[in-house]
Amino acid sequence: MNMPFDALGDLSDEALLALYASGDRAAAAALSSRLTPLAYRLAARMLGDLAEAEDVAQEALLRLWKIAPDWRAGEAKISTWLYRVTSNLCLDRLRKRPNIALDTVAEPLDEGPSVEANLMVKSRTDALNNALLALPDRQRQAVILRHLEDCANPQIAEAMDLSVEAVESLIARGKRRLSEILRLQKAELGFEE
């Protein structure tokens, strides 16, 4: 029996995945709409390339669909698992990329027409995205998960397969480096010196 799509909004990811594995098509739609943005946002910010981010997000979700029947409830949060898979797929792609200087990758993410109405927000977002691309991969991953995805440090540690202390260190170093990069642009981006 398929549950109505509206009735699925309050269910946890784990409950939805169990329904998906039992053949509920509404659960498939609910999970897709809930989890795709997670994977896509992380991939877009890690890679700085929307086309590549779409490939990564689709691949990460594909892996989730494949393991759904064997998912062991209670062992890990689905969002944590998805962050881990997405991050690893991004790191694989980043490793295959040639080293590129920061000024050549300063292609801002296209945020859509609503952002163009607020140039300052867009400028700050672009500046941050470009600065993130200058960080080492693991620092970028930790900073994105902590400050843009609002994950708790233990969840980040699980997603990155690190200790909480290592995550804290990565985040601290990453933010220091971001501050150095963005300090010069603060005035022109509307921040007081």
> C-beta of 23: minimal distance to another protein in Å?
3
Q: Candidates 58, 73, 102, 119: give the one binding another protein (CB under 8 A).
A: 58
- Site membership for another protein, residue 111 (CB under 8 A): yes
Handedness of CA 124, 126, 129, 130 (dihedral sign): negative
Q: Does 44 bind another protein (CB under 8 A)?
A: yes
Tell whether residue 20 is a contact of another protein (CB under 8 A): yes
Nearer to another protein (CB atom), residue 69 or residue 161 = 69
Contact 151, 159 (CB under 8 A): yes
Residue 135 sits in the site that holds another protein (CB under 8 A): no
Q: Is 163 in the site for another protein (CB under 8 A)?
A: no
Q: Which is nearer to another protein, 23 or 136 (CB)?
A: 23
Which H or E run contains 60? helix 50-67
Q: Tell whether residue 29 is a contact of another protein (CB under 8 A).
A: yes
Of 175, 148, 159, 114, the closest CA to residue 42 belongs to 148
∠ CA 146-40-155 to the nearest 5 degrees? 30
- What would the 3-class secondary structure string for 83-95 be? HHHHHHHHHHHHH
Assess 47 for contact with another protein (CB under 8 A): no
Instruction: Give the pair of three-digit tokens for residue 192.
Output: 């007081």
Q: Between 98 and 112, whose beta carbon lies closer to another protein?
A: 112
- Among 99, 63, 54, 114, which Cα is nearest to 84's? 63
CB neighbours of residue 95 within 10 Å: 8
Instruction: Say how many residues touch another protein, by CB under 8 A.
Output: 55
- Classify the C-alpha dihedral 161-125-132-102 as positive or negative: positive
List residues near another protein by CB under 8 A: 20-25, 28-29, 31-33, 36-37, 40-41, 44-45, 50, 53-54, 57-58, 61-62, 65-66, 68-69, 109, 111-112, 114-115, 118, 120-122, 124-125, 127-129, 131, 147-148, 172, 175-176, 178-179, 182-183, 186, 189, 191
